[in-house]
Structure 1
Amino acid sequence: MLRRWYVAIPALLLTLAGSYGVYKSIPPQYQSSAVLSLTVPISGPSTLGDPRDRVMEANPLLNFNYGLNMTAEVLVQILGAEDTMIKLGARPHGETTYEVNNGSPNPELLFSQPFVLIEGKSSDPRAAKEIVQRVTQRARVELDKRQAQLKAPPTTYIIMTEILEPTDAVALRNDAMRYTAAVLLLGALASVAAAFVAESVAAALRRRRRDRSDAAASAPVNEPVLQR
């Protein structure tokens, strides 16, 4: 590397310039978040129906263990479906997208807690926050829709509370830093490889010149022939 500094240094400079270009070429991503919580209404999961029949009417979503957790998972599946994303103005790999989970991406922990976590990402900070707001509103619509389909009494409807309202979008540079680090690493390896290649070529040329010199020195000298 020291002997071939005139090869290694330009290669390193090109690497720095290329990594800077990569860093600037990747637009920053902005992220906004919201957290929703599902709770049982104060009146409880059931209510008295017709007083003459004295029959209790219950919310089917709360009529079994882990009802709130199951409802949260249902909402996660509905909101995370591709059709729902398109209707809300997002795409799985588009410029503006979002992710929904119930607090854990591990499918073995589906019943961990009755939360719905929403994260929106976009190259535009306003779009990132707006997509989270739309998903939050859609979550309320879907929850009421499912309970109405099950003919649950309105007084037993599950309450959705915004524990964390859609936050202002913050810049994320993870992708840019990751790609920049990859370019720096590859460029550094290429610089070292270029220096070694230059040294190998120079060594091969030196050996060839030395072999030619040795061959010329060991060649027999033709003495002049005297004519009578």
Structure 2
Amino acid sequence: MDFWSTLRVLLRRWYVAVPVFAAALGLAGVAYVSVDPQYESTGTIVLTAPSSGARVTVGEPTPAERINPLLAFDASLTTSAQILIETLRDPATVERFTGDSEDALSYEVGNGQLSGPFIVVVATSRTPEGSTRTVAEVLDRAREELRSRQETLEAPESTYIRSEPVISPTPAEELVGGKFRFAAVALFLGLIAGLTAAYGYESYQQHRRRRGSSTTKDRSTKAAAGKAPDGDERGNGEATVTMRSVPGTSRPTPGDGNPQ
């Protein structure tokens, strides 16, 4: 049906549609209130190279040059940042920060679509403190992993790549998008139910009217086809009139012998 037909049905069957729509609003409100709130916090660090460079000369009397392997190739800082990102995405690492915590739900780590050696952590939690704490712990884990790898590679400490905070863990903000989505779905389903109820009731009433009209017509036909009183019965239900003679008194005729 088009818009105006739908509107006419809703106006005609408002006493069916309005209660269903009211129930839909109530259901949407319940869905919004019942969904647990979630909070999000973000933190960002950037990797920097030492001002002295990736090489250092050590040893006497024959000096030898030592180099930090993580700085020995082009785009080394960006590559090192990507290595740390993949390490923080490891399921075992994720389980460490979210599996045993009562309020931490999840976190995501990446470069934030920034060009450069950035590491961006976004944590989601049931409490504001949980999301902020998770961001801080994951960034600390990134710093530990960076230092551990350079120690394992025996890079000179003066050539260590360092991390500098760009955005400290931000105050947690409540995410309302998820609650709105649940409420919107509940409201949409309620509106569909209201339209269905109105159309269903309209169809039921039309069916009853058609059935009542058909029953009345059948009764009229049967009544018209009944027997006619005091008459001959024909196939079309009409009666015929029978003419009968009535005996009367005879008049005398002249010349009967009566005296003049």
Residue 222 (structure 1) aligned with residue 226 (structure 2): yes
Task: Give the corresponding residue for 2:193.
Answer: 190
Residue of structure 2 aligned with 1:171, choices 157, 166, 174: 174
Match of 1:2, SS state, is helix
- Aligned to 2:30, what secondary structure does the other structure show? helix
Counterparts in 2 of 1:189 and 1:89: CA distance versus 1, 3 Å: closer
| Equivalent position of 2:215 in the other structure | 212
1:203 to 206, 209, 230: 206
SS at match of 1:78: helix
Contact 1:69 1:114 in 2 (8 A): yes
User: Does the C-alpha gap of structure 1 residues 95 and 73 become closer, same or farther in structure 2, counting only changes over 3 Å?
Assistant: same
> Hey, what does 1:10 align to over in structure 2?
19
Structure 1 residue 225: Cα displacement: 6.9
2:34 corresponds to:
25
How many aligned positions are there?
219
**Residues 193-227 of structure 1: CA deviation (Å, up to 9, x unaligned):** 11111101111111110111111112243216769
In structure 2, the partner of 1:101 is 110
Q: Hey, what does 1:43 align to over in structure 2?
A: 52
1:213 and 1:50 map into 2 onto residues whose CA distance is 116
Aligned partner of 2:116 among 75, 92, 113:
113
The percent identity for this pair of structures is 33
Shift of 1:51: 4.2
Contact 1:90–1:97, Cα closer than 8 Å, also in 2: no
Q: Which residue of 2 aligns with 1:158?
A: 161
Which secondary structure state, in structure 2, belongs to the residue aligned with residue 152 of structure 1? coil
TM-score (norm 1): 0.90
- Which has the larger Rg? 2
Contact 2:104 2:131 in 1 (8 A): no
Distance 1:95 1:72 in 2: 24
Distance in 1 (alpha carbons) for counterparts of 2:118 and 2:68: 19
The match for 1:84 is 93
Contact 1:103/1:113 (8 A) holds in 2: no
Q: Structure 1 residues 194, 153: closer, same or farther in 2, change over 3 A? A: same
What is the alpha-carbon distance in structure 2 between the residues aligned to residue 221 and residue 164 of structure 1? 95
Scaled by the length of structure 2, the TM-score of the pair is 0.79
- Gap runs ≥5 in structure 1: none
Q: Which amino acid aligns with 2:24?
A: T
The answer to whether the Cα contact below 8 Å between 1:90 and 1:98 also exists between their aligned partners in 2 is no
Cα displacement string for residues 129-172 of structure 1 (whole angstroms, at most 9, x for unaligned residues): 11111111111110001111111111110010011111111111
- The one-letter amino acid of 1:20's match is G
**Superposition CA RMSD, Å:** 1.9
Aligned residue identity for 1:198: Y
Q: Is 1:59 equivalent to 2:79 in the alignment?
A: no
User: Using the alignment, how far apart are the partners of 2:111 and 2:199 within structure 1?
Assistant: 53
**Alpha-carbon separation, structure 2, partners of 1:90 and 1:70:** 29
Question: Which range moves more in the overlay, 29-38 or 185-194?
Answer: 185-194
